[in-house]
Amino acid sequence: MSTARQSGPRRFHHWIDGAARPSEHTIERVDPATGQVVSAFAEGTARDAADAVEAARKAFDSGVWARAEAAHRAKVLSRWARLVEAAADELVDLEIAEAGKTIRVASGDVNGAVELIDYAAALCLQHHGEAYPGIRDGLSAFVVREPVGVVGAIVPWNFPTIIYAQKVPFALAAGCSVVVKPSELTSGTAVRLSELATEAGLPDGVLNVVTGYGDPVGQVLVDSPDVDMISFTGSTATGRRILDGQKVNFKRMGLELGGKSAAIVCADADLDQAVEGVMFSIFMHQGQVCCAGSRLLVDDSVADDFLARLSRRAASLTLGDPRSEATDVGPLLSPGHFEVVAGYVELAVKEGAVALCGGPGRGDGDEDGPWFRPTILDRVGRDTRVFREEIFGPVLTVTRFSTVEEAIDLANDSDYGLAGSVWTADMHTAFDVASRVRTGTLEINTSLEGQPQLPFGGAKSSGMGREKGQAGLDDFTEVKTIAFRTVPREPFFQGKP
């Protein structure tokens, strides 16, 4: 294996055609909490990426996995889940060191990955088609789903394990072969998960990982005619560039992009419950979450009371060692990302927002590192940049409303449509809001309830396609109609036979 523990950084090679492949150059990853180099990833070349695609194409065309019995695929995926479960401590440690996650968030992600793999294994046995017997004049048909082919899975830095698990097991359950391109910042778990899949019995070439930068590695996946589908999670800007590149290739696309999700707190909501739900949706993993509830829309009649409660709770959260169970908030990804978040907060104040709590630093005198306290910005107008642009940090904007109609209008006044929540005691109001806010997910009196059975994806500029659930499997398939006759059709042409 490529991850033997050693005194220095853990070294990770590519995983191509069932074997580790080193590179001449490596990319070092610094633990954002300590500033120490913790991992060194192989820096992939265009040749590495092309070789991985070739291995995946060969494996798919051979049928060794694509035409394997569903029960066999289910068994391999189930064995994989057990191996991931056994390696949980190692994977959690990688998530903490590379992504800056707190131990509670990292543990939840690894446990969630196991659940996703198990669920994908179960879907193998539920994969079905449709039958249309006796349509007309002896004509019958089957409608079946076949694997789309070779999938290029591009995984972001913020949730390297869970987003990998939202893509790869479902593609494998459908019978596809996969080439994974993880973020160059958080590649460790993608390599380890793929090594464990081979150990579980996945045939060589069916699952490959090439670490490195988007250019050249990701670009090869996007451009290669041997890749049938791209499943990408990342920024809307990058998603648009990927789409632009398909004017010739016409690949299948699954895009999970940015978000600016709204949490709507009505006057009749359980305010204490709403405080906890709103905090979880924006401050978990330091707000570096695509579906974070980063816009709070609160009824003006309860706004002052609600914000006082919310600010007290936010200010009480503990920043510190991500490996401590007592820590609530870890560091941001990097100093560069810290500057982006800090810049947005400064901009918000210039645009007229009122900072109720938070700001840069840990607040304990130790200001080294990319630490940012949970921040709440009140009086944010709908025409400001911080209302409209994804900040990707622990920053909650607050906009007040007078009626539910106004709240729905504010929620929909966004280029994005990934998620959202509504907090109310009135179920009529709740379901009215849920049906009218244009998002892929809308939760009632809860937030960030991502479960394997529930499809996830966005509307508008938040992307296309779905991950997880039956829809997550279907996205990795092509629909084929197989028509046949039991009675010959009458001749159409009138000439002599």
- Nearest of 182, 10, 184 to residue 90 by alpha carbon: 10
Residue 54 included in any domain: yes
Looking at the fold, whether 112 and 140 belong to one and the same domain comes out as yes
Neighbours of 383 (CB within 10 A): 9
pLDDT in tens, the chain (497 residues): 333 344 689 999 999 999 999 999 999 999 999 999 999 999 999 999 999 999 999 999 999 999 999 999 999 999 999 999 999 999 999 999 999 999 999 999 999 999 999 999 999 999 889 999 999 989 999 999 999 999 999 999 999 999 999 999 999 999 999 999 999 999 999 999 999 999 999 999 999 999 999 999 999 999 999 999 999 999 999 999 999 888 778 899 999 999 999 999 999 999 999 999 999 999 999 999 999 999 999 999 999 999 999 999 999 999 999 999 999 999 999 999 999 999 999 999 999 999 999 999 987 766 789 999 999 999 999 999 999 999 999 999 999 999 999 999 999 999 999 999 999 999 999 999 999 999 999 999 999 999 999 999 999 999 999 999 999 999 999 999 999 999 998 889 988 87
Pairing of strands 463-464, 262-265: unpaired
Residue 277 included in any domain: yes
Alpha carbon distance 362, 278 (integer Å): 21
CATH number of 474's domain? 3.40.605.10
Looking at the fold, whether 238 and 379 belong to one and the same domain comes out as no
Contacts of 162 (CB under 8 A, 6+ apart): 109, 112, 113, 116
Looking at the fold, whether 351 and 428 belong to one and the same domain comes out as yes
Looking at the fold, whether 138 and 162 belong to one and the same domain comes out as yes
Radius of gyration over every alpha carbon of the chain, rounded to an integer in angstroms:
24
Looking at the fold, whether 112 and 228 belong to one and the same domain comes out as yes
Residue 3 included in any domain: no
Looking at the fold, whether 439 and 411 belong to one and the same domain comes out as yes
Active site residue 115: no
Residue 354 included in any domain: yes
Alpha carbon distance 282, 273 (integer Å): 15
Question: Rounded to an integer, what is the distance from CA 166 to the centroid of its chain?
Answer: 7
Looking at the fold, whether 284 and 251 belong to one and the same domain comes out as no
Tell me the three state secondary structure of residue 378: strand
Looking at the fold, whether 95 and 232 belong to one and the same domain comes out as yes
Residue 497 included in any domain: no
Neighbours of 280 (CB within 10 A): 14
Neighbours of 68 (CB within 10 A): 16
CATH number of 417's domain? 3.40.309.10
Looking at the fold, whether 273 and 153 belong to one and the same domain comes out as no
Alpha carbon distance 62, 175 (integer Å): 12
Residue 363 included in any domain: yes
pTM for this entry:
0.96
Looking at the fold, whether 306 and 432 belong to one and the same domain comes out as yes
Residue 451 included in any domain: no
Looking at the fold, whether 349 and 253 belong to one and the same domain comes out as no
Range of the domain at 282: 262-444
Alpha carbon distance 92, 319 (integer Å): 19
Burial state string for 85-102 with b = 16 or more CB within 10 A and e = fewer than 16: bebeebbbbbbbbbbbbb
Q: Exactly one of 256, 390, 443, 467 is catalytic; which is it?
A: 256
Q: Which residue has the tokens 């057990």?
A: 82
User: Which amino acid, one-letter code, is at 69?
Assistant: E
Looking at the fold, whether 114 and 143 belong to one and the same domain comes out as yes
Which of these three, 398, 414, 444, is where a domain ends? 444
Residue 322 included in any domain: yes
What one-character DSSP code corresponds to residue 64? Answer: T
Neighbours of 136 (CB within 10 A): 6
Tell me the three state secondary structure of residue 292: coil
Give me the number of domains the chain comprises: 2
